[in-house]
Chains A and B, each alone.
Chain A
Amino acid sequence: MGIKPLLTKDFATENLKQLAVYEKTGGYTGFKKALEMQPDALVDLVKASGLRGRGGAGFPTGNKWSFLPKGMYPRYLVCNADESEPGCFKDRYLMENSPHQVLEGILIASYAIGCNLAFIYIRGEYLPQTEALEAAIDEARQAGYLGKNVLGKGYDLDVILHRGAGAYICGEETAMLTSLEGYRGEPRLKPPFPAVKGLYGKPTVVNNVETVCNLPHIVLNGADWFKAIGTPTGSGTRLWCMSGHVNRPGNYEMENGTPIRELIEEHGGGVWKNRKLKAFQPGGASMMVLLPEHLDVGLDFDAIAKAGSLAGAGAMVVMDETTCMVDAARRYVKFFEHESCGKCTPCREGTYWMANIFDRFEGGEAKVGDIDLLLDIGYNIDGRSFCPLGDASTWFPRSVIKFFRDEFQEHISEKGCPFKKSVQEAVA
């Protein structure tokens, strides 16, 4: 347990971005090995490794691949590099430090599923990362890793780097496909699932950046090696994006199952300014808040779910005792209001309504009934929305009301935020 650099082990190497340097660290040997294997054997290998998707839902990657209907071509792979979950910045880190690792993962996944055209959907705001990937793709194409007859093995593959333009919802896989097809990034009805009817109506696999970055290592070292890392239901490591009130925020690649306490206290250097921990939020903006009593929970999909939150996309937002939980919830709700695609009624209208109420708390005009009203609106959105964005917009605020109801009450009785220091004061 503890820090375990697997994907990030060579990140200290200078110029890792360059193909030659990446190759020197063992880069593309995984792909070369994969090319010697039968695609089906690769799928089985990834299944056996227990690798679960790192995009948020934690779905077993090998299983996802095996859902593709037999004999239906073309098939597409879309690498999800839309990372927009507030609190997450791991895919960015992977792309800017080692774009070739991302590409190698994409090559392996494409070969395994029999795809000849792969896409990387990267969020519009990640311009430097787009440039890094662009350069890597050019290099790889020149070196024969991409194009017709890859490495002389009779396999064709091209990669299109597609830049988004500012829409969190496009991280949701079906919305991503809609967006990639040139439309508004609105999620689609499931079923049919992308594996059956995805991009351009063809069988499609969507995999997160971090997910594919695991593939070269699994191919090189084997399923057993990977399974031996982490927990029984959570093989491998994850990059945790630590932010908020810690001394050393940043990305930490941790073996799955490591206690949260170790991440925050040891690697993050503990809560800053010698203050006390009030709460933390794993997973990202969507996920429920946890309390100091949960510090010994392991960094693992199942363990965090058991504790009442979700590991999601690997954020770890730390909040000290001075944090106004109402304001934190307000920001997230406003984020969801801003990012709601507007397709379905509960999310479109509900997030707008919740945001209005939160503003009322902030402005000191909230009424006693507003707390329960928020809960009730949350109830009417959660599980009723078209896609998980709507549902998730209610999770953090409702968990905050559950654990910190008194703070809401104080906002009402004190007609404003009891924590608010004057902004001017702090700046001056």
Chain B
Amino acid sequence: MATVQTDQVTLTVNGQSVTVPKGTLILDAAKKVGIDIPIFCSHPKMAPVAVCRMCLVEVEKMPKLQPACAVYVAEGMVVKTTTEQVNKYQKGVLEFLLINHPLDCPICDKGGECPLQDQTYQYGPGASRYQFDKAHFDKSVPLSDKIVLDRERCILCWRCTRFSEEISGERELALIQRGVHTIIGTFNDEPAQSAYQGNWTEICPVGALTSRQYRFISRPWDLDRTPSVCPGCSMGCNIQIDARNNKIGRFQSRENVAVDDSWLCDFGRYSFPNFQRQSQERPRIRRGGRLEDVSYDEAIAFTVDGLKRAGGQAAGWASPADTNEELLLFRRLFRDVLRSPHLDHRSATVVDAEPGDMTLSIADIERLEHVVLLGGQEVIDAAPVLHLRLFKSQRKGVTVLKVGAGQVAEAVAGVSPDCTAVGILATEANKAAAVDLQTKLQRKIKGSVRRLIVTTGPNGRGAKDLGILPHLGPGYVALNGQAGTGRTEWPGAGLRALYVHESSPLHGFTPTDAESMWLPTVPLLVFHRFKPSPLDEMAHVILPGHAFTEKDGTVTNMEGRVQRIRKGIDAAWVREDWLVFQEIANQLGASWSYESVGQITSDLVRGLPPYMAVNQEARVLWSERP
């Protein structure tokens, strides 16, 4: 068919022909045919500013060199990126950047992953022709308790200030003074308040903005990098665990446009010290009131013994930071082996979860016309990176309405009847109000109304999907007549054993007052956990387990996206948590024979087909349940 494709443009870059959509930058068109143009200021998430001038290329018929990061392709354009003129100029820009740059790479945290260092090596001038003192600026300005700024290293690429303006909207970082005196800073050098400061360190193309936590701890080339998911909250931002000598050095972002859009919040990013192992621990059991070290086998036997006695009177609490694979086995241990319905992953009783809680995806927020933040800042606090998505949406023209949880009427009034797409965001605690608002809005407007309930913990959604609830089985099926009790009902429910499984200190089992009084009376308290906590004092068995950062598996974020987490730290002396579950189950009469996490995942998908989504790291779509 001879249709004219008007939205495609063909050009040549260094003689290679490339066809790209209209509105593509020369930089990206070149990348498509494998031609890298050096850049500093350009950033894929920010509007082009063309300030560093590193990316200048020759474009036929244009008298001056053109910034590839800011000029859009045109039909028949002829771009040359390696001519003598371009090469000479690239050297020139690097030379300019270096005249006032300290080049203290050996003591710079960015050393080894610094675009300036790399490009100086690749394109740069040889010996310096600059024979004057370099401009001196403050070298160590604490921008906050998290970030330190070295003004000498700053090459004024504007990425951090643009982040502050375009991405987080906080407008906290600014350019101050002008010309060669220009510096980056906060107002009056007051401490930065932003909840997203770590991102500044990642986008800074030099070692000007660095994390205080990471300072000089490691060199980039010494790092083991593991792709995983942030343990911070139910947003499920993708991370890379950078470790050295089996110790976590930092969490870095890992772009997933559907989830994090390549950003992390500081709460998540700087949560890694919580996952640092202090020592090698062994299982312990309480004998004669005292905890003593034993082998795993001994501790397991002890546990089995107690659980056998408790039977249907045993309760299980698995943390919302456990993997789906762990949760599957945990559920089967209780429901199938012990025949106990008393399962929970929550810390409080909340309105029932249901698939309708995630009819809105994170990325779709951008495509709404109106979004209501029911509970206001509280929703953001529960999943900080949501704010960045909301701000991006706002810049695209989406109206964001922040109201208190009780202000359903105001929220309804704030949406006009001809609205075509409305979204509601709320925390679990305000789900009832969210449903109420949704019903009312649905009646008022002609378009669609969807909601997204922010769950608790990096796998709170998975725990619900898999039925770690007293009254729902996997896939939200009601346990007709077989419902058990939930966590808040446990004190006083006459339970004979409690098994607590906890993978993250951020989402642990923190006893309430009532629980603190009840727990010492429970005949058996098994505490299978990563990090010591006050609960140790009451436990009869302590089973060391792996942290969120130490295991393979999958977790499901608030919107139902199933993503893989991977072992970033190897704590080999700790027995795999799923293996411990399997051994307990088998000693209680089951005959499980999983040999790997992968096998459990397969089983999980078999039993719960919507979890097929795991293969694409996509969202679980319950409506398409067979």
Contacts and interface: CB of A to CB of B under 8 A. Distances in A.
Contacts, number: 87
A228 to B, nearest CB: 34
Interface stretch (A218-226, A236-244, A307-315, A335-343): A335-343
B195 interface: no
A348 B182 contact: yes
Interface in B174-191: 175, 177-182
Nearest to B178: A342
Interface of A: 167, 184, 189, 337-346, 348-353, 356, 373, 379-380, 383-386
B179 A380 contact: no
B53 A345 contact: yes
Contacts of A386: 50-51, 53
Given A337-B180, A352-B180, A353-B130, A346 B135 contact: no
Nearest to B52: A345
A349 B97 contact: yes
Interface residues of B, number: 34
Interface of B: 48-54, 56, 63-65, 70, 88-89, 92-93, 95-97, 99-100, 129-130, 132, 135, 155-156, 175, 177-182
A346 B92 CA distance: 8
B92 A380 contact: yes
Contacts of B49: 189
A341 B177 CA distance: 9
A383 B179 contact: no
B53 A189 contact: no
Contacts of A344: 50-53
Nearest to A373: B129
7 contacts: A345-B156, A348-B179, A352-B99, A352-B100, A356-B132, A380-B88, A386-B50
Nearest to B158: A343
Given A342-B178, A342-B180, A386-B51, A348 B156 contact: yes
Contacts of B177: 342
A349 B53 contact: no
Contacts of A352: 99-100, 135, 179-180
Given A184-B178, A346-B93, A384-B89, 7 more contacts: A189-B70, A337-B180, A342-B156, A342-B182, A351-B179, A352-B179, A383-B65
A345 B70 contact: no
A379 B100 CA distance: 19
A351 B178 CA distance: 13
B317 to A, nearest CB: 54
B93 A384 contact: yes
Given A349-B97, A349-B100, A338 B179 contact: yes
Contact of A343 (B51, B89, B130, B155): B51
A379 B54 CA distance: 15
A380 B49 CA distance: 20
Contacts of B64: 383-384
B57 to A, nearest CB: 12
A258 B239 CA distance: 71
Nearest to B93: A345
A182 to B, nearest CB: 12
A341 B100 contact: no
Given A342-B179, A348-B179, A189 B93 contact: no
B65 A349 contact: no
Nearest to B183: A342
Contact of A342 (B53, B63, B88, B181): B181
Contacts of B54: 345
Closest 7 CB pairs of A and B: A380-B92, A342-B182, A349-B96, A352-B180, A340-B179, A342-B179, A383-B64
Contacts of A373: 129
A412 B336 CA distance: 94
